[in-house]
Structure 1
Amino acid sequence: MAPRQNASVSSRGKSAGKSAGKDFANGTIVEFDREQDLKAYREMLLIRRFEEKAGQLYGMGFIGGFCHLYIGQEAVVVGMQMALKQGDQVITGYRDHGHMLATGMSARGVMAELTGRQGGYSRGKGGSMHMFSKEKNFYGGHGIVGAQVSLGTGLAFANSYRGNDNVSLAYFGDGAANQGQVYESFNMAALWKLPCIYIIENNRYAMGTSVARASAGVDFSQRGAAIGIPGYQVDGMDVRAVKAAGEEAVAHCREGKGPVILEMQTYRYRGHSMSDPAKYRSKDEVQKMRSEHDPIEQVKVRLLEKGWATEDELKAIDKDVRDIVADSADFAQNDPEPDVSELYTDILL
């Protein structure tokens, strides 16, 4: 069955270019049970605490190069992962640490790669933007804007060619949505009915310019309408809405009906990268999003109100998560740097 417009998905045509916090879906949400809410809370909190620590290590000089944090957008990848099965593949751009953790990659391995150590997922040679794990079906963060969309389409083609029912998820942002190769990928996927879900993480500002100023069409869910790709706007700040939309999109792909576009209306609290002071938006706007739409706080409130967890139990989860992150940071600062011989490995001539 094709993805249907339901209460967890906002109605088509709503502007994604309005002020932050004014255009999220407000319909009835498919409820989580206690285990689902606890799982979502823990996984989103792990991403949040990991990114906070990464920001600290960057400021201390342990992480070099570029570093793009995922703080505020945690519900998108966690909700989508809850809709997948073993064998489904994930590929994304350079804001990728959250995706790695959500797919099950270890905090130690990710942090060690950030600090350029031999225990990192790319043996210290990829850094923040280039990590992979074939074991976890994570095919990378990619530094070239939009490049992962074509590669994600290729993963979907491989699934179709092999005749399995795996689905490829290609994440990219509102800025990358204007890249030419994105539309070439859409066309190929629609033409051959490839099992690919294109997830546009619309955090409103791309590298620093509001979507209203950078895109002639701000309803990103309809970017594939001309070639018959169904698209839906989703409240990317509510993990339940993401999971509900993700399950319908996955079912659509597994049934051989071709690709789907999900526009996740989300928001990043930090700048585009660690070097971005984010002066293009007000502090009040960011605070409004934190106080009214924070994805982790929403789950915390539900757990407490329903009596599914106590404050002490949630504090224990936070402590456990902080311990994992602290351990990863210690490992990443003390693990040896790669041997000079690594300069000559993984080179294709």
Structure 2
Amino acid sequence: MNYTTWEQRVRKVEPYTPGEQPKTDKVIKLNTNENPFSPSPMVEKVIKEYNEDALRLYPDTRAGLLVDALAKRYGVDSDQVFVGVGSDDVISQTFLTFFNSDKEILFPDITYSFYDVWAELYRIPYRTVPLKDDFTINPDDYKCDNGGIIIPNPNAPTGVLESLDTIEEILKANPTSVVVIDEAYIDFGGTSCLPLIDKYENLLVVQTFSKSRSMAGMRIGFAIGSKKLIKYLSDVKFSVNSYTMNPLSIIGGAAAVEDEEYFQKTTQEIINTREYSKKRLTELGFTFPDSMSNFIFASHKKVPAKEIFTKLKEQGIYVRYWDKPRINNHLRITIGTKENMDKVFEKLAEIVG
């Protein structure tokens, strides 16, 4: 190929579009699934006690304090744990490591919209698999030749949780593919498929501190799997950047993991508010798949989602809306504090009449 300009050599991709970040805190922000509670008080304590002079040194490449805390919490060996700068970093490295063939990787058509971005970025062939009308997965759709599978559970943006039986059915049918289960929202009432990692060497489970541990700003994600999977993943990571985890994230993350009481208390409060919110939304005429996450994917019977989205924003309430096929009449509403949710329901009542 003859190049006539430098731009023809550029790797061009359509980037992921995150939820809008308002330039003021005088809003009710329910558009990016952030936790409404502060991180564990133990996080604040260890950061305040940290010797800032140590910031002149490179961090522990292994992030051993955090890795060991996660291994203890989840009952696995330390060499079964991989950490990264948010689960986005972890999954990006996963795409780069394991999805390395000319066969299409598979993921749902309605799902986390970063997956196709990574596939395009790394030139990985992919095919989106349509969810059923109720937004659930048909496991038979994944019983085919493929180059890998990634499925969020619970799914985003629908909030639908698949059973362990469904996940295992997919695993059984794909012994030659790496199957990644993205469990960013699993702590809000779901059952993790982590117990399956001892049975399936090709299963990688990814989680994050951004949602249930209130640490989106510190960027901590992790994966747990067989020692062989983690070794391959680590080899790729250290070929890109050895020092990805900063020391404050390492010590703060470890402290958050150790404060199990606070973790259980705040996640349960979000679950309780979510169930309350389901009742209130139903009373206002909304329908939605049963959510097991920290958000609800709602559609109104009479008023279009885009109209509701615009009117809420005018009132300083931010929720998420996608103008995409199949989901362009839905809003993803993050679960905030009960006080904030009541303000949302008050405005929704005015909008939908």
- Is TM-score (shorter-chain normalized) higher than 0.5? no
Structure 1 length-normalised TM: 0.30
**What's the TM-score, normalizing by structure 2?**
0.30
Counting helix residues as a fraction of each chain, which structure ranks higher?
1
Structure with max Cα Rg: 2
